[in-house]
Structure 1
C-alpha cells in the first residue's frame, strides 16, 4: 500500500509540473477536499478550503494561469497505507523559492483530502 501511495504522489508531481489538469484531477476522489494557505490569500471567502473536482480544477487553473512557470521540486516523500507526506520546493520565476509540506490522504487509490503547509 505504501508503494501504491508513493506512486500516486509521483504521478501527482508529474501532472502538476506539466500543468496537466486532467491527469492531476484523475488522482482525486470526486468529493476530495483541499486546504492551502494560498487559497486563503487569493480567495479569502474559502477560508483556505475547497471541495470537489470542479473547485480543485478552478483553483489550479487559476494558479497555472497566474504562474505559468510554477514548478515543484520534490525533496522528500514518506508514505504509509493511508497518506503521503510530501516535502517540496515551490519555484516561481521572480519569487523566492518556498519550502512546502503537503499531506495527501488516500483511500481506495484516490486522494480524498490534501493539506498544504508553508515553511
Structure 2
C-alpha cells in the first residue's frame, strides 16, 4: 500500500467530511480508541467497536465541529501500521495510528499533543 497516497486520501476525505469515503478501508470489526471518543460516546471509556459505531462517533464529531479541517504534517511507516501526524482547524497537533490486516484497518488510535505548558509539571 502506498502510505503517502493513503494519507492524502485520508486528509481529503476528512476535509470533505465524507465519512463513507473515509471508512472504505476500515474493517467492519475495527476497534478505535481516542480521548475524544471518551468525551463524545457516553460509556465508551474512549473505545469504539465496529465500523457502525465508528461512523456514529465521527458523525457526531463532524456535527459538533462543522469547520473540521486537517493538514498532514508527516506520515510514519511501521510494520502493518502507519501514523498520520496532522494539525486540526484549531492548530492542535494530533496523530492517527492505524493498524492494518490485509490492507484493511482493524485498529486505530487517536492521539493528541499535550499542551507544552503542562510539560513543565512532569
How many residues are matched?
Answer: 113
RMSD: 1.4
Return the TM-score normalized by structure 2: 0.84
Greater Cα radius of gyration, structure 1 or 2:
2
1:118 maps to which of 95, 101, 112: 112
Q: CA–CA distance in 2 between the matches of 1:63 and 1:98?
A: 16
Higher strand residue share:
1
Q: Which runs of 4+ in 1 moved over 6 A?
A: none
- Higher RCO (Cα < 8 Å, 6 or more apart): 1
Gapped runs of 5+ residues in structure 1? none
Contact 2:99 2:107 in 1 (8 A): yes
- Structure 2: how far apart are the matches of 1:6 and 1:81? 15
2:56 aligned with 1:62: no
Calculate the TM-score normalised by the size of structure 1: 0.86
Deviates more, 1:34-43 or 1:8-17: 8-17
- CA contact 2:40–2:60 (8 Å) conserved in 1: no
